Structure 1
């Protein structure tokens, strides 16, 4: 591992297999035979060429879960961005339409996730607003960037589209068997596609804020402009998401806060020298029609996006008089949101969702969902009745008042029986992503800093209603005609493989 990507930092990674399974292509020398039919031995066989593995190879094979640092950095690093930036105005034109493309002005657009803003603001000892202004000023003056945006507009659409799909599935009774799983964490998605094909149909195929933000930026360009989109994300797996074929041209390069700091050191730039107090910069660096009070904001829920909580919140709005119970799991990386009617215990659980993070919890979830595979409607009906009966029993143990959700006997979260699970490979979610800055040496201090950043996250941003904002955006922009969906495919397991051991390169 390099000094930038250490094994300990990659807590949002799922360990790969011991060997890479990309087939080795062997170019054999033609065999020479003389007039007597004898083989001529003229020279030793040529040495096999070193196998070259690209991001596309990694995403297409079934041997590993995520890629090595060499594969990621070959296309997704700050060095690649710096090279691209230097030749931004000299990009090759489209052969089919040279004149049009040559006349287009290539512009730099930069987006940044809220977790990265928290991490970098803490690193530079700034408030969120001070950092945002400093960051915009730096991108504008050093890289001549045109737009710098937060990712909340993309997240608004992700949440509203997610809720639309979940509510439709709920009405059809399709959430009674097994819960749908979020596809926001690319590490979990790749793990599922490559090793758990039976769970691929459970992945909710709504794109992440990273990709939707890129699409929205493209829609905001003038006809004579062409975009290069750089985004700052909290974990390294987001690099792989940007390389998916169904996200082409939405994001060109992904870097993390750690890489951003390393880039400034290499460029010998003093970030603090770009401090500025001109709040007009928020509007100047926003595309036309983008309200900075929205795209620089956040929403209620977890520091990973709040998808599970926002689903329950909308279900509560659809069921007046109900209450949301927040039920802790067996460890701090599991929580369930359960919607109940305190005035009618016979209704049971009206809706439920869960947040689940960390690979150990993911392994438990996968085993449980495998066991819950339902093969006939009879079994389905029995489970529905059982769930309702259990919920009614639990309701009798609750002492609810108009002002609180007091619980006489603590309940334990059961995420596998919910409608929807917000899954993150990184323990603690995106606020603990491996790309965020955490220079503490001990595990205890690392966790303490992650918790500190999580606390700051919940207090640092203005909150918007993502469901309302997302649907308004669909009604008033081009986004309403775009599906914003992934195409998930279980990777076929090839039994005949030429294994290339990678050993210490992982």
Structure 2
């Protein structure tokens, strides 16, 4: 089966990326048997289950070992074989299970929230030959029809992430100019495929360079489980938050222990992809365009939700926003020229600010593992020429995520991506600094605290486990 995860999470030629059967180290409790009863022959039953015979000839079922994403992320063994691990908490089936429990136990009902990424809307809009605005309205209608209470747009949380990234860069640049040469380059940390790879393969050499600013998915998780929970007077554990994302790696991100609240609940309970949403709709024998268009839900009752985007590309525009902000704040250049230089391929591009012939800023975007491989050694050897790098595990970035809708049999995948990109870019862009939603969140939630713990995360050095099965003879 082809991996649905990004390249860095699907590598098979590195020693620390091997099959779970070789190196899964999860401790499995083995209950002590009563005296005189010892396990003997183990056999496979007709239904595929396993049974054992004790020394008295009695047969009993053996329990399956359930390995969750939390188990995987806690070790350095087999996360890159995640598609073959039993994923129990990140699927559409889990969503339907919670919805069914809501109907069966109304007194313990979960408040259901869905947050949808702009990339997913673009993918669905191309599939159905309609506008992004129309898809947003129909997705809202669909999620309400199956029992969701609130459907949100992650554009708002991305604005927080972009603005916080600008602040992070400015702080790092100040430290760098004062002599702390480890402060730059700053590498984005919004792509979970890239982060997992960096933690497991490069540890302390790379982690200090990765921005601790949360991605839009996890920023929305904080908004839902902290800000929204307080406004609705609900405990975070009573809210079930589903994120609809373009990438399977996002399932891993949501499962990180760092994104559990003090109430021991995930900020994002479940992640589903564009393809899974279509499966959910079609399993009811329906079609997305059959649903009525309805008004978009509001995060603030007095602020209507509008569909808009941010400049700088389909992965959020982090490079461009940080570059423009730094040019203005550091050198007084209000509208710096955005002339990208394509290097070895279109997924490795540079953007430079020159003033009177002197280079002041040099940024880059590096998408896909072949370009990550080019950047990482330079960072480790302290000879990286860039001040900032926007890193994405997927070639072409988030619009080409593994969870996006695939090309039909008679369709070219590059042409499909081009259509999705064009439609995504057709939405009007706005400056996050002018966002009324961010203004309200700062006033009513963050209270102007730019280092608020809900905005930041952390990363971990995961030591490679020595295992004789990894030796290449």
Scaled by the length of structure 1, what TM-score is found? 0.76
Q: 1:172 aligns with which of 162, 170, 175?
A: 175
Q: 1:189 to 1:432 in 2, by over 3 A?
A: same
Q: 1:419 to 1:479 in 2, by over 3 A?
A: same
Match of residue 307 from structure 1: 318
Matched, 1:22 2:21: no
With CA pairs under 8 Å and 6+ residues apart, which has the higher RCO, 1 or 2?
1
Task: State the SS of the aligned residue for 1:300.
Answer: coil
Matched, 1:145 2:111: no
Task: State the SS of the aligned residue for 1:356.
Answer: strand
Q: 1:452 aligns with which of 411, 419, 438?
A: 419
Match of residue 345 from structure 2: 331
Match of residue 272 from structure 1: 289
| Superposed displacement of residue 463, structure 1 | 1.5
Match of residue 190 from structure 1: 196
Note the alpha carbon deviations across 1:222-269, whole angstroms, 9 max, x for none: 114732111110010000111111212211111001111111121222
Q: Which moved more, 1:224-233 or 1:179-188?
A: 224-233
| Superposed displacement of residue 118, structure 1 | 0.4
Q: 1:89 to 1:107 in 2, by over 3 A?
A: farther
Q: 1:350 to 1:61 in 2, by over 3 A?
A: same
Extract unaligned runs of 5+ from structure 1.
33-39, 93-101, 374-415, 500-506
Match of residue 419 from structure 1: 387
Q: 2:398 aligns with which of 396, 418, 430?
A: 430
Task: State the SS of the aligned residue for 1:363.
Answer: helix
Q: Please show how residues 276-425 of structure 1 align to structure 2 within 5 Å.
A: 276=293, 281-282=295-296, 285-289=297-301, 291-293=303-305, 296-318=307-329, 319-321=331-333, 323-341=337-355, 344-345=356-357, 348-372=358-382, 416-425=384-393
Q: What is the CA–CA distance in structure 2 between the aligned matches of 1:237 and 1:43, rounded to whole Å?
A: 40
RMSD (Å), alpha carbons: 3.0
Match of residue 219 from structure 2: 212
Task: State the SS of the aligned residue for 1:336.
Answer: strand
Q: Please show how residues 53-64 of structure 1 align to structure 2 within 5 Å.
A: 53-64=67-78
User: For the pair shown, which has the larger CA radius of gyration, 1 or 2?
Assistant: 1
| Superposed displacement of residue 466, structure 1 | 1.5
Match of residue 465 from structure 1: 431
Match of residue 389 from structure 1: none
Task: State the SS of the aligned residue for 2:176.
Answer: coil
| Superposed displacement of residue 474, structure 1 | 5.1
Q: 1:31 to 1:84 in 2, by over 3 A?
A: closer
The number of residues matched between the two structures is 423
Q: Please show how residues 17-56 of structure 1 align to structure 2 within 5 Å.
A: 17-20=17-20, 21-23=23-25, 25=28, 27=30, 44=40, 51-56=65-70
Task: State the SS of the aligned residue for 1:191.
Answer: helix
Q: What is the CA–CA distance in structure 2 between the aligned matches of 1:31 and 1:76, rounded to whole Å?
A: 38
Is contact 1:340–1:351 with CA below 8 Å preserved after alignment? yes
| Superposed displacement of residue 428, structure 1 | 0.3
Q: What is the CA–CA distance in structure 1 between the aligned matches of 2:322 and 2:86, rounded to whole Å?
A: 33
Is contact 1:14–1:66 with CA below 8 Å preserved after alignment? yes
Task: State the SS of the aligned residue for 2:112.
Answer: strand
Match of residue 49 from structure 2: none
| Superposed displacement of residue 291, structure 1 | 3.6
